[in-house]
Structures are given as structure tokens and as C-alpha cells.
Amino acid sequence: MKQDLIVILDLGSTQNTVVAREIREFGVYSEIHPHDITADGLKALENVKGIILNGGENRIVDGAAVQILPELYDLGCPMIAIDYPQSQCAVNYDQIPDRETLKRFIFEDCKAQANWNMKNFIEDQVERIRHQVGDKKVLLALSGGVDSSVVAAMLIKAIGQQLTCVHVNHGLMRKNESESVVKVFRDELHANLIYVDASERFLGKLENVADPEQKRKIIGSEFIRVFEEEAGKLEGIDFLGQGTIYPDIIESGTKTAKMVKSHHNVGGLPEDLTFELVEPLKQLFKDEVRACGVELGLPHDMVYRQPFPGPGLGVRCLGAITRDRLEAVRESDAILREEFAKAGLDKKVWQYFTVVPNFKSVGMKNNARVFEYMVIIRAINTIDAMTASIEHVDWEVLDKITGRILAEVENVNRVCFDMSPKPPATIEFE
Ligand code: XMP
């Protein structure tokens, strides 16, 4: 079913997503669009019930205040303006309207229906995907992260065997991670899944490479190469599935907003891309993506997992990657996750992981001198990953984790806890 839509026009506010989220929390679908959208552009969005002119501190672009096209006033669509002095509509606010005012505008002035929920969203997207793809084939790089997993589940529901998923194991995955991707998607959801174990190839390319940026570049470009090789073996693929989500689009910069960071899903696609994109999550915020995954029947652990960088454990095995230290990172990370889950910290702490630096320290094992590596534990909380504070983990929990790491992980004789907030530290070490 088509859902009612409230459009937010970005006239330089820094609060667009806050307003969009608030409207969606009322159960009404909302999208952010650029200020210079045309009347025809708005009509094409279908079911627009109301427009919010959302002004703010970035209103001045190239010395002039941005304005909407006058033709929008003739649409007969209810409008309110927030911090937008040029508006011809009745109400003008300074900041975010309070919830009651927003609610009155949406339900009384716009007469919008609260019909935005995951069931309807999935139904609507399934219909759109089938319409876009027809009887053609779609290829998807399935990393096992939240976004690609939810896209895969959505595409399986919409087009089943017309989807081919490729999972590249770059050898830098966490313990049992690739196995779980295969189990869920191939065995349980019966997806057409190609599993590529490229561990040796990646580790070979990374041998003796110590510079963090160089490591990231090698992992990123090798990943695309492996994926392209697999795609080349398939025939008749016209579409590429992508786990682009709403913040990726917003953070990559709108006309008035300042660019936060360029995102690999939006700006970094190869220029000679010959596929058309299928991006069924591109209007969802992260928590909505998770809700969508749950509704599609994905396991809780897969949908609520903590963020994991694309280069994987490669950026946590510091300096030039060696197999012994990579194993130490993988095993200690598994112990940390297990013990955090037992202590209930997995639901409380935003991100937690271990790091193994590339130097040794002196220690004693079985009455003999040893010279071995150390494991650093990092546990942080953040809202948006731009700043972060450390979790004050109980000594008892840390004690237990330390004991297990020292007893179970080879080549390790020391465990440390990283006390540094971001800034000045970053969340990851490389
Ligand atoms: P930093 O280290 O910059 O990390 O404070 C911020 C957040 O981003 C994650 N991260 C990445 N995520 N690809 C990703 O998808 C990457 O290359 C990458 N590098 C860092 C990091 O884990 C943290 O949550």
C-alpha cells in the first residue's frame, strides 16, 4: 500500500534528520529533499500530504539565502516553515517545532494517516523491486554486516533465485563470521550464495605492509577485484544490490548541508559501473534497518551486531599483519564478546573489540622467561561515532576476560585496557 508522505525541504537546517525521525515516530513516513525541488518533482513523489520548509544556520549559500521555487506555493499542499523568513505560509518557528505542534500539523492540517510501519514498508519495497528488476538478475556483495544482510533478505523475499549473493572471506573476519553467513543465507534462507575464501590472497598482498592507509587501500581494492572476478563468471547480471542507507546519503552532503564524510556506498563506486543499482534501504535510518531485518526473519544477533569496519581485523592487527598476531586478535575478540554477552554488556556498550600491537614485552610462563605480544581491550560508547567515551567496565569482568585471554590465546602474555576517549584517540587504532 502507498504510504502518506510528509516532505521536509532542506533550507539549511542542521535538524532535518531530527524532524524526519520525529515524524516517522508518529507512524507517518517522511523524506528530506533539496530546497530547489520542482512542483513536478514533488508530484512524482506520490502521496505528499504536507511540506515542511526547514530553514536554519546553513541557509546562506554563496552569499544569498536559499529559497524554494514559488510554484510550490500553488500546489495547495499544507506547509509550515521553520526558521525560514521568506515563507508565505502562516506559521513560522525559530527552531524545531514542539511535538504537539508537529503532530497537529501532520494529522489535522495534512490529514496524514499513520500507516508507516515495517510490514507496509517491506510490502511496498518488494513490489518496487519486482517492478524494477522484472525477470532479470541481481548481484549482491554480502559481507554479513547489518545493511548487506538486510538487503539480501529483502531481495530474497522479492526475487528469490534471481539474486546471487557473493560472500568474500578476506581472512580478516571475526571468529565464525563467514560460517554464520553461509549457514543463515545458504542453509536457512536458501539463497543462491557464492562463498569465496580469499584469505590467502589477501594475506599475501598484505605481507610486510605496515602503513595503515596502505593496508586499507589494499584490502578495499582487492575486495573489488575479487568481487569483479566472481561477477565476471556469471552471466546475464543487470543489477547490483547495495546496502545504502539514509545516513549514507545525507552524510555525503546535500546542497546546503556541510559534508560530514564521503561514504563508500555513494561516492566510491567504480566509474565504469555497468550495473543498475537496487537500493531498497536507502530511505531507512539504522534502527529502522534493524527493525526491517527482524521483520524479514533474520537472527537477532545478525541484526543487532555492533559496527565492524570493512577492513575487518586487519586494522586491529597493528602494523604489518602476521598470522600469529591475527589469530591472537581473532581469539581474544571472541573471548571478549563471549564475556561481554555473559555480563549483559553486549546490549549496553556501543562497540568493543581487541587490538594486538606489533611489539613484544617480557613475561614469565611456567617459570621461564617469555617474550610475547599484548592484547588491548577497547570498549566505547557513542551516539554517532564522531566522539566517544570509554565504558567503565567492572574490574571483575575485566579480570575474568584477562584471565581467559592469558590462558587461552597463544603468544600473549599481557592484557591492557584502553582508557582514551575520542578525541584525541579515534575508536579504531588504524
Ligand atoms: P574511528 O576509528 O574513525 O571509527 O573513530 C569510527 C567508526 O567507524 C568504524 N570504521 C569503519 N567502518 N569501514 C566501515 O564501514 C571502515 O573502513 C571503517 N573504519 C572505521 C569504526 O569501527 C567505528 O565504529
Would you state the cell numbers that stand for residue 285, as one nine-digit string?
535510518
Ligand 1 atom at minimal distance to the Cα of residue 310: 13
> How far apart, in whole angstroms, are the C-alpha atoms of residue 67 and residue 290?
36
Looking at residue 261, what is its pLDDT?
A: 42
- pLDDT at res. 252: 57
- Which string of DSSP letters, residue by residue, matches 166-207? EEEE-S-PPTTHHHHHIIIIIIIS--EEEEEE-HHHHHHHHT
Long-range contacts of the stretch 181-188 (C-beta < 8 A, 24+) = 181/142, 181/144, 181/149, 184/149, 184/298, 184/299, 184/302, 185/142, 185/149, 185/152, 185/156
* Number of CB atoms found within 10 A of residue 235's CB: 6
Q: Within 269-346, where are the H helices?
A: 286-295, 300-303, 323-342
Would you state the cell numbers that stand for residue 62, as one nine-digit string?
554563496
- Cα–Cα distance for residue pair 113/107, rounded to 1 Å: 7
For residues 278, 282, 284 and 289, what is the CA-based torsion angle, rounded to 10 degrees? 50
User: From first to last of its 430 residues, what are the pLDDT tens digits of the chain?
Assistant: 678 999 999 998 888 888 999 999 999 999 999 999 999 999 999 899 999 999 888 877 777 888 899 999 999 999 999 887 766 665 557 556 788 999 999 999 999 999 999 999 999 999 999 999 999 999 999 999 999 999 999 999 999 999 999 999 999 999 999 999 999 999 999 999 999 999 999 999 999 999 999 999 999 999 999 999 999 999 999 999 999 998 887 765 556 654 444 444 444 455 566 789 999 999 999 999 999 999 999 999 899 999 999 999 999 999 999 999 999 999 999 999 999 999 999 999 999 999 999 999 999 999 999 999 999 999 999 988 899 999 999 999 999 999 999 999 999 999 999 999 999 999 999 9
- pLDDT of res. 87: 61
Q: How far, in Å, CA of 313 to CA of 322, rounded? A: 12
Ligand 1 binding pocket mutation candidate from 315, 428, 429, 430 (most atoms within 8 A of CB): 428
425 CB under 6 A from ligand 1? Answer: no
Distance, in Å, from the CA atom of 380 to the CA atom of 387, rounded to the nearest integer, reads: 10
Cell (9 digits) for 49: 500530504
Q: What is the pLDDT of residue 267?
A: 40
Distance CA 331, CA 333 (A): 5
* Residue of 219, 418, 427, 430 best suited for mutating to test ligand 1, as the one with most atoms within 8 Å of CB: 427
- The mean pLDDT of the chain is 91
Q: Are 292 and 284 in contact (CB under 8 A)?
A: yes
Q: Is 12 helix (H, G, I), strand (E, B) or coil?
A: strand
| Pocket lining: 310 vs ligand 1, CB cutoff 6 Å | yes
Q: How many CB atoms lie within 10 A of CB 107?
A: 17
pLDDT of 268 reads 45
Residue 272 pLDDT? 62
Q: What is the pLDDT of residue 263?
A: 44
Q: What is the pLDDT at residue 57?
A: 80
Q: 309: CA distance to ligand 1 center in Å? A: 5
- What does the pLDDT look like over 313-369, one tens digit per residue? 999 999 999 999 999 999 999 999 999 999 999 999 999 999 999 999 999 999 999
User: What pLDDT, on the 0 to 100 scale, is given for residue 271?
Assistant: 58
What pLDDT, on a 0 to 100 scale, did the predictor assign at position 331? 98
d(CA 287, CA 293): 10
pLDDT for residue 142: 96
Sketch out the chain's domains with CATH numbers: 5-109 (3.40.50.880), 118-303 (3.40.50.620), 322-417 (3.30.300.10)
- Name the 3-class secondary structure at 16: helix
Residue nearest to atom 18 of ligand 1 (CA): 309
Which pLDDT score is estimated for 366?
94
Between the CA of residue 4 and those of 117, 119, 196, 342, what are the distances in Å?
11, 15, 43, 43
What is the per-residue pLDDT for 262?
44
- Alpha-carbon distance of 44 to 47, in angstroms, equals 9
CA–CA distance, 165 with 193 (Å, rounded to integer): 5
Which atom number of ligand 1 is nearest to the Cα of residue 422? Answer: 5
For ligand 1, the distance from its centroid to the CA atom of residue 312, given in whole angstroms, is 10
Residue 265: its pLDDT value, please?
Answer: 44
Helix (H/G/I), strand (E/B), else coil: 36: coil
Residue 36 beta carbon below 6 angstroms from any ligand 1 atom: no
Distance CA 151, CA 189 (A): 13
What pLDDT was estimated at residue 131? Answer: 97
Pairing of β 163-169 and β 137-141: parallel
Query: Does residue 286's CB lie within 6 angstroms of at least one atom of ligand 1?
Result: no
Measure the CA–CA gap between 360 and 373, rounded to whole angstroms: 5
**Rounded to 5°, angle at Cα 296 from 269 and 309:** 40
Query: Which cell numbers in the block locate residue 111?
Result: 490529514
Span from the CA of 128 to the centroid of ligand 1 (angstroms): 32
Residue 395 identity (one-letter amino acid): W
